[in-house]
A and B are shown apart, each in its own frame.
Chain A
Amino acid sequence: MEKVLTRNIGIEDSWTLRVYRSRGGYKALEQALDTEPDALIDAVKASGLRGRGGAGFPTGVKWSFMPKQPTPERPNYLICNADESEPGTFKDRLIIEQDPHQLVEGCLVAAWAIRASKVFIYIRGEYVHGARRLEQAVAEAREANLCGRNILGKGFDCDVVVHRGAGAYICGEETALMDSLEGGRGNPRLKPPFPAQAGLYGHPTTINNVETLSCVPLIVERGAEWFASIGTDERNTGPKLYCLSGHVKRPGVYEAPIGIPLLELIEEFGGGMLRDDRPLKAVIPGGSSVPVLTAEECRDLPMDFDSLAKRGTMLGSAGVMVMDSSTDMVQVMERIAHFYAHESCGQCTPCREGTGWLEKIIRRIRSGRGSLDDLATLESAAGHMRGTTICPLADAAAMPCQSFLAKFRHEFEHYIKTGRAAVTAG
Chain B
Amino acid sequence: MFDAELDKRADEIIARYPQPRGAVMPLLHLVQEKAGWVTLEAEEWIARKLGLTPAYVHGVTTFYTMYRTSRCGTYLLQLCTTVSCMLRGCDNVLEHIKRRLGIEEGETTPDGKFTLVTVECLGSCGTAPVMQVNDDYYEDLDIERVDALLDALAEGRPAPFPPGPGPQRVMVEQHRAS
Contacts and interface: CB of A to CB of B under 8 A. Distances in A.
A250 interface: yes
A180 B22 CA distance: 8
A337 B24 CA distance: 31
Interface string B14-26: 0011110111111
A335 B82 contact: yes
A306 interface: no
A332 B60 CA distance: 32
Given A125-B66, A163-B25, A245-B126, A335 B60 contact: no
Interface in B58-97: 59-60, 63-67, 81-84, 86-88
A129 B25 contact: no
B167 interface: no
Contact of B124 (A93, A182, A183, A339): A93
A89 B28 CA distance: 27
Contacts of B122: 126
Interface stretch (B2-10, B151-159, B168-176): B168-176
A24 interface: no
Contact of B120 (A166, A245, A343): A343
B123 A183 contact: no
B177 interface: yes
Nearest to A96: B123
A183 B24 contact: yes
Interface stretch (A15-23, A61-69, A251-259): A251-259
A118 B66 CA distance: 27
A88 interface: yes
Contacts of B60: 183-185
A182 B21 contact: yes
A300 B39 CA distance: 56
A251 B128 contact: yes
Contact of B19 (A201, A244, A247): A201
Contact of B125 (A201, A321, A323, A335): A321
User: Chain B interface residue count: which class?
Assistant: 35 or more
Nearest to B52: A183
B29 interface: yes
A118 B123 CA distance: 27
B103 interface: no
Q: Name the residue among B18, B121, B122 with the largest chain A CB count within 10 angstroms.
A: B121
B64 A246 contact: no
A336 B26 contact: no
A87 B152 CA distance: 30
Given A167-B65, A243-B125, A250 B172 contact: yes
Given A87-B84, A284-B83, A319 B125 contact: yes
Interface residues of A, number: 57
A184 B23 CA distance: 10
A164 interface: yes
Given A327-B87, A339-B82, A254 B125 contact: no
B25 A180 contact: yes
A90 interface: yes
A286 interface: no
A85 B66 contact: no
B5 to A, nearest CB: 19
Contacts of A180: 25
A92 B123 CA distance: 9
B115 interface: no
B125 A167 contact: no
Contact of A90 (B22, B125, B132): B125
A126 B123 contact: yes
Given A90-B124, A184-B60, A321 B29 contact: no
A244 B60 CA distance: 35
A288 B59 CA distance: 29
B126 A253 contact: yes
9 contacts: A10-B177, A85-B123, A90-B126, A128-B135, A165-B66, A182-B22, A245-B87, A246-B87, A335-B82
Interface of A: 10, 84-90, 92-93, 118, 124-129, 161, 163-169, 180-186, 201, 243-247, 250-254, 271, 284, 288, 319, 321, 323, 327, 331-332, 335-336, 339, 342-343
Given A183-B17, A252-B172, 19 more contacts: A85-B120, A88-B83, A88-B121, A89-B121, A129-B135, A166-B29, A183-B22, A185-B59, A244-B126, A246-B84, A246-B125, A250-B175, A251-B84, A252-B176, A253-B126, A321-B87, A327-B87, A339-B82, A339-B120
